Amino acid sequence: MVLKVVVTCVVVLGVVVTPVITSEDPISQPRDWPCPDANDFYPCLCIYDELDHTLSIDCSLVETNEELAQAFENVVFPFTYLKEFKLEQDANPNVSLDTVGLNTFQDLTFERIIISGTKIEIIFEEDFYGSHETLTYLNLQNNKIKHFPFISVQLYPSLQTLILDDNQIPSLPEIQSDSLEILSINGNGGIQLDDFLGPPALQEIYLARNQIELLQVNFFWNLPNLTLVDLQRNEISILDEYTIASQSNALASINLDHNKISSIRHDAFHGLLPDAVVSMRNNTVVELDEDSWSHLFTQLVPTGTLDLADNPLNCGCDMDWIMFSPNQIDLRIFPDTTTCSSGNQIVDLDVQFFCDRCLPNNCSTLYPAGNVPQRT
């Protein structure tokens, strides 16, 4: 096809103005394909990724329910599968958007959906119905959500990540899913967990900042693939038997920082990997008595980590069993950040001190040649 171009020169008062170039072939006009016309789709944006040839949509500039619906009513996409839908508004007080809407996305399907900072209070089962078969990542953090249809999670056979942080969800019920691997529900203060029964494929669960005071026994037991538990910044004061327990022996990371834990039961932890990290920074632990703590040490020694930084540890005879462990192997799980209330690092404590104070005249039994380990 031969493109015919007409060049028109305009002369005004003897000055040649920049030529105006037009075409007799309308197909050759600049287009946004495969994205729709930007003006028609505004305030939403369409982004085409030339590397993987996918489309994504960003509607963060939308301020009302009507604007969101009209943006999709005015355009046609060349295909229905899109990579991502994003609407991030950072809790803008000028935005009144408070619903997604049943037919908002028409027949479009998404792999990832991110909606945050809106006034949305209710998520309906049908809101993302078009993405049942394609959705792998759903992030609805920092909204006003009081109701989420957990029962509908089973309708998304590819969903791997569900994030509901910083909403107002009152309870976490049973979730049925064969695909969900990551569940994050931080910052839903006062959420009730008594009826929770997690999906078997779950690997990571985030329950921070929820004002949790007590977890029921075996709360995590039916999660055979669980590797990470985040319970930081709650109100937990004691870890009862089988509080942090998995039947799969796959737990790799436990975060209990910034709680009120003063003591644990002997069998509070079960199923830790040998190199697991248990962090209990900023709690109120004073003593490390053998009856309560030895089972945890058995699972972590010698390659795991127990971080008790910023606890008021007494470092007295309650922990002589740690100091007198063979070759002081139990000390290896403490990082340098773990200190006594006096400020001394646990890893640098003097064994002779414990001999004199805790086993007077009996250290010769432990160290018959008088070779008491010295601080290095």
Strand order of the β-sheet with 272-279 is: 45-49, 54-58, 81-88, 109-116, 137-139, 161-163, 182-184, 204-206, 228-230, 251-255, 272-279, 305-307
How confident is the model over 15-40, as pLDDT tens digits? 433 333 333 443 333 357 899 999 99
> Cβ(131)–Cβ(107) under 8 Å?
no
How confident is the model over 87-142, as pLDDT tens digits? 998 867 778 899 987 788 888 999 999 999 999 999 998 899 899 999 999 999 99
In this predicted structure, the answer to whether residue 294 has a pLDDT above a threshold of 70 is: yes
As given in the structure block, the two tokens for residue 236 are 């937990």
How confident is the model over 174-227, as pLDDT tens digits? 999 999 999 999 999 999 998 899 999 999 999 999 999 999 899 999 999 999
What is the rounded distance in angstroms from the CA atom of residue 319 to the CA atom of residue 313? 10
Go through the domains of the chain in sequence order and give each one's CATH number: 33-211 (3.80.10.10), 234-376 (3.80.10.10)
Supply angle C-alpha 346, 347, 352, rounded to 5.
Answer: 85
What was the pLDDT predicted at 29?
35
At residue 372 the predicted structure's pLDDT band, cuts being 50, 70 and 90, is: low
What is the rounded distance in angstroms from the CA atom of residue 10 to the CA atom of residue 264? 87
What was the pLDDT predicted at 365?
65
